[in-house]
Amino acid sequence: MSPILFWAFSALMLAFGVSVILNRDPVASALSLVASFLCLAALFVGLDAFFIGVIQVLVYAGAVMVLFLFIIMLLDLKAEKRRSFNKFALLGGAAVTALFVAGLLKVISAFPAGAKPFPALGVASVDDVRQVGLAIFTRFNLPFQTVGVLVLVASIGVIVLSRRQLK
Amino acid sequence: MFLLCFMKSDYLPILLQVLVAIGFACSALLVSLLLGKATRRNATKDTAYECGMIADEGPQPRFSVKFYLVAMLFILFDLEIVFMYPWAVIYKDAILEYGASIFWSMFSFVGILTLGYVYAVKKGALDWKS
Amino acid sequence: MDFLNDIPWMLIAASIAKTLFLIFGVVLPIVSYTVYAERRVSALIQDRLGPNRTGFPISLFGFEKDLQLFLGGLGQPIADAVKFLLKEEFTPAHVNKFYFWLAPVLAMVPALSTLAVLPFGNYLFGQKMVVADVNVGILYVFAIASIGVYGIVLAGWSSNSKYPFLGSIRASSQMISYELSLGLSAVPVLLIIGNLNLSQAIQYQIENGWLLLPFTDGNLTLRELLLWIPVLISFIIFTISMFAETNRLPFDLPESETELVAGYHTEYSAMKFALFFLGEYAAMIAGSSVIVVLFLGGWHIPFLPINTLESSTTPAGIALGFLHITAFFAKVVGILLFFIWVRWTLPRFRFDQLMKLGWLYLFEIALVNIFITAAILALVK
C-alpha cells in the first residue's frame, strides 16, 4: 500500500478520532467524527473496496451523523464543563491500557508469521459492487433477510418510542 | 514503487477535484475578506435579524418530535436503498443464471421493510398536518 | 528521492487540467449565466425587462456613457461577482464564528466535488472527458450530495438567530426525505443498465437508444417500449426529487422569503452568501448533469456515429470532441431552463404537503416502479 496517502489518511483519521473525545463541544465532536469517517472511506478506497468506501460516506457521514447533529442542535446541547479528573479512575484506566498493550505485544511477538510481508493479491477481474451483490444474493440470502427483520424492528421501535408525542 | 497502488488511478483525481473545490471556496472567501469594505460595527448590526423587531433572546424554540422521527426513518430506509444498488447491478445477469430467486429475494426484503413503513403510516408518523 | 519517480505525474497533470477546465471553464460560467438567465426569464414571464444594460462603468472615469461591450446586459454576472467581492464582509457578534465561516465552504465543496464522476464528453486531445471514471459513479454522486446537508445545518445553527435556524431545520428534513425517492428512482435505470459506472450508462444508451427516447439508436423493440413506462416514471420522480434536493421552488420552504426572510443564509453577507448561492446553482448543474447522463444519453448526439477519429489529436477529432462536450452542456442548459420555468410558474408547497408528497406518494410509486422494471426485464426477452 502506498506510504504517503495511507499514512496521511490514517494519521488524519486518528487525529479526528482523538478530537471526538477531547472536544467538549458536542458539535465539534460530531463534525470530527464525520471527518474521521471520510478518512476511513478513503482508506477503504485504498484497499480497492470502493463500494464499502462509498457506503461509508453515504450511510455514516451522510445519514447517521446528520441525525446526531440534528439532535445536538435541536436539543441545544452546550459544551460540557471541564471536570476535575478522578485520580483513581485515571490510574485504573492507565493500568488497563498498559495491560492491554502488554498483552498485544506478547501475542505479536509469539506469532512470527505475522512479521512477513503480506503476499500480493491478484487484481480482481470483476468489479467489487458485482461481487458484493453476488455474495449477498446467492450465498448470504438468509442473513440478508435477517437484516431486513432487524431494520423492521428498529423502525417499529423508533415509532413506539416517539408514540406519546404523535397521537 | 507502490505509490500508485494506494488508489486505483481512477480515484486519485477525485481527491484532486475535492482539493481544487476546497481551494476555490477558501480563496474566494479570502479575496473577499481582503478586498471587501472595512467592517463598521454598531449595536444594531450585531443583533440577530428579526425584521426590525428587537431580537427575542428567549431559549431556543422547541421542535416537534417528528423532525427526529423523519431523520431516524430516513436512516432505516436509506439502508434498504443501499442494498438495492448491488442488486440492480447484478440483476440482469443473475436472472439468467439463477432464475427468479433473485427477484423474490429482494421482493421479500422490501416486503419485510414495508411492514415497518405501513406501521409508520398507520401511526401517523409521516402525517405533518396535526 | 526515489519515490518521486513513482508518482503518476502525467495522470495528476491531466486530471488537474480536466478539473480546472470543468470547474472554471464550464461550470462556474454556466452558474453565473444561469443566475442571469433566471433574472431575464423571470422578467420575461412577468412582462418586465430584467437586467439588460450592464456595461463597463467607464462613466466613473469621466466618460459620458458606460461602455456597452456585451449586448443586453450580458456583463451583469461579472458585475455581480465584483460586487460580491467588494461588499462589506460582516460577521455579526452573536454568531458562532468558526462554524459560521465553515458553513459556506461546506455548502460549496460537495456541489463541485460531485461533478468529478460525470462524463461530460467523449474524448478531447486523446483524453477521456471525465475527471474520475469510477465504478461506483452514481453512488458517489449520492454520497457526496448527502454531505451537502452539513453546510445548511451548520449555517442555520451557527447564526444563533431564529429565521436561519428554522430554515436550516426545514432544509435538512426536506433534503433527507427526498434523498430516499431520489435514490429509489435511480434503481430502475440501474437495473436496465446493469452498471453503476456513468460512462457505461452512456455507452449502453449509445448502443440501445437513450432511455427516455429509446428510438435514438434507429430501432424500437417491444422490450424497449415496455421499459419506457417505468423509465418515464423514474424520470419524473427523479426530477421532482432533484427540485426538492436543490431547494428550488415549488420546494423552496427553507428560504421562503415571505415567511423566513432568506432562510438559513439570512445572517450572511458578501462572499459568504455568494458561496451558498453559487453552491445551490452548482448543485443544480450537477443534478441536471445526472439527469442527462441517466436518461438523455449524456454527450451522445443521436444518429451521429461514434468515430474512432475522436480519440486522436487531429483537428477533426478535436472538433468532434468539442461538439460532444457542447452537446452535453446544451442538454444540461435545457434542463436548467426548465428548472427556471418551473420556478416562476408554480406556487410553493406547504410543509405538510411537501412531506406527504415525498414520503407517501413518491416513495411508494418509486418502490413499485422498481419491481415493475425488474419484472419486465425478467419476462420480456
Task: Give pLDDT, residue A167.
Answer: 52
Say yes or no to pLDDT of C312 above 90: no
For residue B105, the chain A residues in CB contact (below 8 A) are 137, 141, 144-145
pLDDT in tens, C194-229: 888 888 888 888 888 888 887 777 777 888 888 889
In this predicted structure, the answer to whether residue C180 has a pLDDT above a threshold of 80 is: yes
Q: How far is CA C359 from CA A148, C98, C239, C329, in A?
A: 19, 35, 16, 32
For residue B31, what is the enclosing H or E element? helix B12-35
Q: pLDDT tens-digit profile of B5-56?
A: 444 556 788 888 889 999 998 898 888 888 877 777 777 777 777 666 666 6
Are the Cβ atoms of B86 and A74 closer than 8 angstroms? no
Total CB pairs under 8 A between chain A and B? 142
Contact C112 B24 (CB under 8 A): yes
Scan residues 65-124 of C and list those with Cβ closer than 8 Å to B: 84-94, 101, 104-105, 108-109, 112-113, 115-117
Tell me the per-residue pLDDT of A98-125, one tens digit each, with 9 for 90 and over: 999 999 999 888 887 767 777 776 666 6
Tell me what percent of the residues of chain C surpass a pLDDT of 90.
18
SS3 category, B85: helix
Which pLDDT band, with edges at 50, 70 and 90, does A131 fall under?
confident
Q: Are A1 and A74 in the same domain?
A: yes
Interface test with A, best of C1, C141, C157 (most A CBs within 10 A): C157
CB contact under 8 A, C187 and B85: yes
Q: Domain ranges for chain C, please list them.
A: 88-379
Q: Give the span between the Cα atoms of B79 and A152, in whole angstroms.
A: 11
pLDDT at C169 over 60: yes
Single pTM value for the model: 0.87
CB contact at 8 A, C30 and C332: yes
**Cell numbers of A64, please?**
447517521
CA distance C121 to C132: 13
Question: How many C-beta neighbours within 10 Å does residue C381 have?
Answer: 7
Contact between C155 and C268 (Cβ < 8 Å):
yes
- CA torsion sign, B56 to C273 to C145 to B25? negative
Residue type, A44: F
Do residues C301 and C325 lie in contact, with contact meaning Cβ atoms separated by under 8 Å?
Answer: no
pLDDT in tens, A28-56: 889 999 999 999 998 888 888 888 999 99
Asked if residues C128 and C137 have their Cβ atoms less than 8 Å apart, the reply is: no
Over the stretch C113-139, which tens digit does the pLDDT of each residue have?
Answer: 998 888 887 877 777 778 888 888 899
pLDDT at B56: 65
Kindly tell me if the per-residue pLDDT of C105 is higher than 70: yes
Contacts of B57 (CB under 8 A, 6+ apart): none
Range with lowest mean pLDDT among C171-175, C182-186, C224-228, C301-305: C301-305
Residue B51 burial (C-beta neighbours within 10 Å; 0-12, 13-18, 19+): exposed
d(CA C291, CA C286): 9
Complex ipTM: 0.83
How many domains is chain A partitioned into structurally? 2
Final residue before a domain boundary, out of A65, A81, A97: A81
Confidence at residue C174, expressed as pLDDT on a 0 to 100 scale: 86
CB contact under 8 A, B13 and C116: yes
3-state secondary structure at position A108: helix
Taking an 8 Å cut-off on Cβ atoms, the answer to whether C11 and B127 are in contact is no
Residue C6 half-sphere exposure toward CB, CA atoms < 13 A: 14
- Which H or E element spans position C113? helix C97-113
Each domain of chain B, given as residue ranges in start order, spans: 64-130
Q: Are B126 and C351 in contact (CB under 8 A)?
A: no
Distance CA C274, CA B35 (A): 15
Q: Domain span at residue A158?
A: 127-167
Instruction: Indicate the helix (H) or strand (E) that contains A165.
Output: helix A163-166
Cross-chain Cβ contact A57/C135 below 8 Å: no
Among A10-24, B11-25, C3-17, C280-294, the range scoring the smallest mean pLDDT is C3-17
Average pLDDT over residues B54-73: 72
Query: CA of B27, closest CA in chain C: separation in Å?
Result: 10
- Beta strand residue intervals within C83-194, DSSP E: 123-124, 127-128
Q: Which of residues 86-105 of B touch A (CB under 8 A)?
A: 86-87, 89-90, 94, 98, 102, 105
Q: Which one of B64, B83, B87, B103 makes the best mutation probe of the A interface by having the most chain A beta carbons within 10 Å?
A: B83
DSSP-assigned states of every residue in C140-157: HHHHHHHHTHHHHHHHHH
By 3-state DSSP, what share of chain A in percent is helix, strand and coil, each rounded to 5?
A: 80, 0, 20
Residue of A nearest to B128 (CA): A166
Nearest to C172 by CA among C93, C106, C268, C239: C106
Interchain proximity A129–C136, CB inside 8 Å:
yes
pLDDT reading at A95 higher than 90: yes
Contacts of B76 in chain C (CB under 8 A): none
Closest among C20, A45, C308, C349 to B128, alpha carbons compared: C349
CATH number at residue A15: 1.20.120.1200
Model pLDDT, residue A150: 92
> What pLDDT score was predicted for residue A99?
96
The crossing angle, in degrees rounded to 10, of helices C97-113 and C137-147 is: 160
Task: Tell me which residue of A67, A52, A132, A118 sits closest to C146, measured CA to CA.
Answer: A67
d(C-alpha C144, C-alpha C151), whole Å? 12
